[in-house]
């Protein structure tokens, strides 16, 4: 090391990063062969060793993707208008306090974005507060998304293109394997890795907890607004691929034409398919990881209940208003009446449950002092259906298997736009990474104090498996009394918060839910 630069010799070759803000930073590190040309839709292939020194000073290309209208309002979303997109996107980034043998805990961060957008260069990762405060190593990754990473082609092409529809998850596993083999060179401990992620990243972790290929590659998880339920059955995946090829006007047997399609052609077809599926099913995204019976042998929650992750310590939680923003942005919601609410609920849950769910949530919102319009009732029910209740089921499964499991609920509401965003999806991430601002998160003494308490509990968890800490206090495991950390300006542990809403879903199978 000299002149504020750092060179690390990995098992594949030398990488040159740089020093900044009290950290060593390495960006754009390749962790698998570029999945281009004949490698498109194949599982990630091993890297080849290189001679000399590769510069690791800027982010690598991100997975090809279309912009989503709501993405610009998502906390921490990179500016996709300036990012370089390429199918050869399998890169990771590392922030570390030291290049030594200190064996620091490792956070392996998987970005969100509904499995179709996003990248591992989220701005809130940059400031390094969590890295330096906790003396930990932070890793973030890119992985294939959309039609490139989550489309099953194996069945429809008779195996000529063997894509199972979980290649994006296999990318994540390849990155975890790279970390296992190399993170010690960056001051990290391969025996203490916490897989952490937000939204689709947390949903990915829910899948990884069940997958044989991921076993032993991480030891703890932090699931932030994502559980095990955002997967699709094989038949549904095949139907989606058939629709995709119809949009492209390609015969399934014509695999040569399929392989010759440009990334832009695939993105355009994906966009068209997304419109079709939104109109037909109300689905936000056309693709999700596929339960193919091999790479993903069964629905993740089924395997987790059977003990697939019984040695993994889980922390998982949600924000109070996960889908409030997206529901409010849907023009069809603004004129929703009671009849329309009931019809929509019958499409989301068993018809006999729909009236009871509506009434439970109507009363719950009254107690919260919130609006009880049909739009707000549906948005709150959808938040729990998609996020909170599946998260609780994951925590319960780990608890019942004898594994330590912790639950949280983030209820602090954004001051932006007069407070209409509520405790929206992703609002908790700037607090975890201490990336506060005046307008969106608020940055007064109370917000700063909560941010540091969230960091300290996270640091304690990744170091010891217990999030209890001096600043945030005792955080008990999620037991029969359902002890839950409720994050707000004055965070506190509560027994069974929002219990009426949770109990309303008793008997509902959360094996998987339609992507919203």
Whichever domain contains 101, its CATH number is 3.40.50.1820
Final residue belonging to a domain, choices 201, 234, 267: 234
**pTM value surpassing 0.75:** yes
Same domain, 28 and 164: yes
Mean pLDDT of 239-260: 93
Q: What is the DSSP letter of 243?
A: H
Same domain, 230 and 332: no
Whether residue 326 lies in the annotated active site:
no
Final residue belonging to a domain, choices 199, 234, 269: 234
Same domain, 227 and 358: no
Question: Using an 8 Å Cβ cutoff, are 65 and 116 in contact?
Answer: yes
Rounded to whole angstroms, how far apart are CA atoms 86 and 64?
Answer: 6
Which SS3 state, helix, strand or coil, does residue 100 take? coil
Same domain, 15 and 144: yes
Is 181 part of a structural domain of the chain? yes
Per the prediction, the chain carries an average pLDDT of: 92
List the one residue out of 256, 273, 270 whose CA is nearest residue 117.
Answer: 270
Q: 465 to each of 128, 448, 460, 474, 475, how far by Cα in Å?
A: 22, 24, 7, 13, 11
Which is the catalytic residue, given 155, 322, 434, 501? 322
Q: Does residue 73 surpass a pLDDT of 60?
A: no
Is 313 part of a structural domain of the chain? no
Domain count, the chain: 2
Is 242 part of a structural domain of the chain? no
Is 390 part of a structural domain of the chain? no
Is 300 part of a structural domain of the chain? no
- Provide φ and ψ at 407, rounded to 5°: -125, 145
Range of 183's domain? 5-234
pLDDT tens digits, 140-167 = 999 999 999 999 999 999 999 999 999 9
User: Exposed, middle or buried, 419 (CB in 10 Å: 0-12/13-18/19+)?
Assistant: exposed
The angle formed by the CA atoms of residues 237, 241 and 246, to the nearest 5 degrees, is: 150
pLDDT tens digits, 254-290 = 999 999 999 999 999 999 998 888 777 666 778 999 9
Which is the catalytic residue, given 227, 425, 451, 457? 425
Reported confidence tier of residue 477, pLDDT bands at 50, 70, 90: very high
pLDDT of residue 212: 96
Same domain, 30 and 155: yes
Q: Does residue 2 surpass a pLDDT of 90?
A: no
pLDDT of residue 74: 56
Is 436 part of a structural domain of the chain? yes
Q: Does residue 178 surpass a pLDDT of 60?
A: yes
Is 282 part of a structural domain of the chain? no
**Cβ neighbours of residue 484 closer than 8 Å, sequence gap 6 or more:** 317, 407, 408, 409, 478, 493, 494, 495, 496, 497
Strands 290-291 and 220-224: unpaired
Same domain, 198 and 88: yes
Same domain, 347 and 206: no
Same domain, 458 and 355: yes
Same domain, 343 and 450: yes
Which is the catalytic residue, given 199, 210, 227, 451? 199
Whether residue 20 lies in the annotated active site:
no
Q: Does residue 472 surpass a pLDDT of 80?
A: yes
Is 138 part of a structural domain of the chain? yes
Final residue belonging to a domain, choices 194, 217, 234: 234
Same domain, 458 and 335: yes
Which residues are 26's β-sheet partners? Answer: 94
Same domain, 106 and 223: yes
Mean pLDDT of 323-350: 80
pLDDT tens digits, 375-433 = 889 989 989 999 999 999 999 999 999 999 999 999 999 998 888 889 999 999 999 99
pLDDT of residue 334: 72
Whether residue 63 lies in the annotated active site:
no
């Amino acid at each position: 090391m000299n002149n504020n630069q750092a060179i690390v010799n990995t098992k594949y070759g030398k990488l040159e990063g740089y020093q900044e803000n009290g950290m060593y930073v390495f960006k754009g590190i390749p962790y698998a062969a570029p999945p281009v040309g004949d490698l498109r839709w194949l599982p990630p292939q091993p890297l080849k060793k290189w001679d000399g020194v590769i510069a690791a000073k800027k982010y690598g290309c991100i997975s090809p993707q279309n912009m989503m209208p709501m993405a610009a309002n998502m906390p921490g979303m990179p500016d996709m208008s300036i990012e370089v997109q390429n199918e050869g996107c399998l890169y990771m980034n590392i922030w570390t306090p030291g290049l030594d043998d200190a064996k620091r805990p490792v956070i392996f961060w998987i970005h969100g974005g509904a499995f179709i957008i996003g990248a591992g260069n989220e701005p809130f990762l940059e400031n390094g507060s969590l890295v330096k405060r906790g003396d930990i190593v932070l890793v973030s990754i890119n992985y294939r998304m959309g039609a490139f990473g989550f489309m099953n082609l194996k069945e429809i092409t008779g195996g000529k293109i063997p894509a199972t529809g979980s290649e994006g998850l296999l990318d994540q596993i390849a990155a975890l394997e790279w970390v296992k083999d190399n993170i010690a060179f960056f001051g990290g401990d391969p025996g203490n890795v916490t897989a952490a992620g937000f939204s689709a990243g947390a949903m990915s972790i829910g899948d990884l907890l069940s997958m044989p290929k991921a076993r032993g590659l991480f030891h703890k998880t932090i699931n932030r607004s994502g559980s095990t339920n955002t997967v699709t059955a094989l038949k549904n995946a095949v139907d989606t691929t058939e629709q995709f090829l119809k949009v492209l006007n390609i015969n399934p047997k014509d695999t040569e034409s399929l392989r010759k399609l440009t990334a832009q052609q695939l993105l355009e077809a994906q966009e068209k398919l997304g419109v079709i599926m939104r109109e037909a099913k109300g689905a936000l995204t056309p693709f999700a990881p596929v339960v193919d019976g091999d790479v993903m042998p069964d629905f993740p929650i089924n395997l987790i209940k059977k003990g697939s992750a019984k040695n993994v310590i889980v922390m998982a939680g949600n924000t109070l208003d996960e889908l409030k923003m997206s529901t409010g942005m849907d023009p069809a919601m603004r004129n929703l009446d009671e009849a329309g609410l009931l019809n929509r609920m019958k499409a989301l849950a068993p018809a006999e449950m729909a009236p009871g769910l509506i009434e439970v949530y109507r009363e719950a919102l009254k107690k919260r002092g919130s609006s009880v319009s049909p739009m707000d009732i549906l948005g709150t029910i959808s938040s729990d259906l998609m996020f909170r209740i599946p998260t609780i089921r994951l925590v319960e499964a780990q608890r019942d298997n004898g594994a330590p499991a912790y639950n949280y609920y983030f209820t602090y509401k954004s001051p932006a736009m007069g407070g209409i965003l509520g405790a929206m999806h992703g609002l908790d991430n700037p607090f975890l990474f201490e990336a506060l601002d005046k307008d969106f998160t608020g940055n007064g003494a109370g917000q700063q104090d909560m941010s540091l308490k969230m960091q300290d509990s996270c640091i304690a968890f990744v170091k010891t498996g217990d999030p209890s800490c001096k600043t945030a206090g005792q955080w008990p495991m999620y037991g029969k009394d359902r002890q839950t950390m409720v994050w707000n300006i004055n965070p506190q542990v509560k027994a069974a918060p929002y219990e009426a809403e949770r109990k309303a879903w008793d008997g509902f199978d959360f094996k998987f839910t339609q992507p919203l």
